[in-house]
Structure 1
């Protein structure tokens, strides 16, 4: 099974590849160079990704820089143009390779995708409705009545009697006249039935029916125990993150799925309790609300590097 890569690592790798491609295009301005330097210095992970991109460029470029420059200085315009094109391709190869190491090709090629923090609702031609949560990807093949969850989380509502089958790494979910949420985690696939009932076909074990209000984990070894699911509570489908006397650490791990960059917190904050409903369209505001209601402070090195620490007592 492919090792899961964090959304932060994917964002950093993608940014490094984009910067590399821009510089190699020859169209980067002085302002672009300044912004690149700021990006590199704002986070040690950015600098590390940039150095890897540069190293890959050197490995993939077949010509030494001195030879390339000498050739470009020759008056043969056709030769210069051909070499520029070759260098452009050579620059794009490590950029694409760098991203593909962090973001698998099956995600790149998916029919439907969302970026970090993006939520998307899509009506399907058969009358069904599909929603994608943050950093998710899915393929849709209505001719075969099939939806494949490639990454992340989705909700599928099928109002008619013609079933759609959700393909996931650990089994299949057959949806008809029902609504279901499916979340792909590193080691399992969580299935939550919002309305109606669905048929589960695990890779191992017998088929089973899951009713509205029930939730289960599909795993490589089979189906986990059935638990309750409160479909009446607002959740990501409504753009809301709910917490009911939840440990702050668990809440922040969930919130970080909707933020680009790095979100850290002092271990002393891990077991603080939190209750409330929080809009997902402004995670900075969520952090401000946490600081206003809990004994913590928000420290921002940059927009993409935020740390929560215990609030200092002022005499």
Structure 2
């Protein structure tokens, strides 16, 4: 097993600023902002350079997410406006009634511990807990950033540099070494870097790769091969590979603490939020099938879910910090 140096990436506590930027964005996109609010927005933005930076980041990511919808709107007038209304309209929602009773109290501490740390991955060389992103410096000068609840094994020797992604998601920034290839392996295949930066995610039944700089060679367990270039991505299992439509780079927004989605199901959004929530999120199949687009902060899942509840026909109930339930509004 190769040696490594660890450098913890410090993420400033800027949730409040990012949430404020998202709230301003929703007001602008819904076309309900008043002149007084416009002046208040300019004052907010000028009050702190961090406000301006958060605004540019959020607005820029949303512009990328809206691009496909805007293109469709040119072909089908009114489609973009309808999509925006679906995402951004605000209405009051009723909360779910009733209480929730849990059995098996003696196992509660173990369940909560599992939500803080992926207990099954405690023996991994590198790992992150719930709500934690961290960048690790590797012995060759490369670095790897792990998303929340991710785990990686490192194997560097005189012939190769290899990372095995046990769970979660990583972004590898690769230092040049003409004598040793840099490889990331998942349960479904392996990726060989032909450049400097790429994203890999492993799920239960498939994996995903996105090239952020230069190119990557992908090979599945069963031998399917594909070369991906900057901005391209693919989803694959052991036998099949499917390209991701459009520019896939927005899938790396988690490295900045953001979730950028384009025509994603609510189930996919919940999947991305779960590594950041120390409790449990339960969603009905009917609610999980709803689709939307936008940019949301990852570091406060409850806030993001409340934003979605106000934008979609949903109702949500939160039980302390350990359970959120989501369902469709009654007809």
Same fold (TM over 0.5): yes
The 5 A counterparts of 1:157-172 are 157-162=173-178, 163-172=181-190
Change (3 A) 1:126 1:301: same
The Cα offsets for residues 155-194 of structure 1, whole Å up to 9 and x where unpaired, read as 1121424431112222221114232111111122222222
CA distance in 2 between counterparts of 1:44 and 1:279 reads 30
TM-score by length of 2: 0.59
Q: Which has the higher contact order (CA 8 A, sep 6+)?
A: 2
Partner of 2:154: 140
Ranges of 4+ aligned residues in structure 1 off by more than 4 Å: 50-53, 310-313
User: Is this contact kept in 2: 1:159–1:176, CA < 8 A?
Assistant: no
The CA RMSD over aligned residues, in Å, is 3.2
Residues 116, 257 of structure 1: 8 Å contact kept: yes
Could you tell me which runs of 5 or more consecutive residues in structure 1 were left unpaired when the two chains were aligned: 1-41, 54-97
**Alignment partner for residue 228 of structure 1, among 245, 250, 273?**
245
Structure 1 213/289 Cα, relative in aligned 2: closer, same or farther at 3 Å?
A: same
> Which is higher, the Rg of structure 1 or of structure 2?
1
Instruction: Give the distance between the partners of 2:320 and 2:208, measured in 1 at CA.
Output: 34
Q: Which runs of 5+ in 2 are unaligned?
A: 1-99
**TM-score, length-normalised on structure 1?**
0.61
Q: How many residues align?
A: 225
- The question of 1:182 aligning with 2:200 is answered yes
Match of 2:324 in 1: 306
1:87-106 counterparts in 2 under 5 A?
Answer: 103-104=119-120
In structure 2, C-alpha distance between the alignment counterparts of 1:117 and 1:46, rounded to whole Å: 26
2:210–2:249 contact (8 Å) kept in structure 1: no
Inter-partner Cα distance in structure 2 for 1:52 and 1:232:
37
Residue 314 of structure 2 aligns with which residue? Answer: 296
Match of 2:301 among 280, 283, 286: 283
Compared CA separation, residues 257 and 201, structure 1 to 2 (3 A)? same
Partner Cα distance (1:50, 1:257) in 2: 19
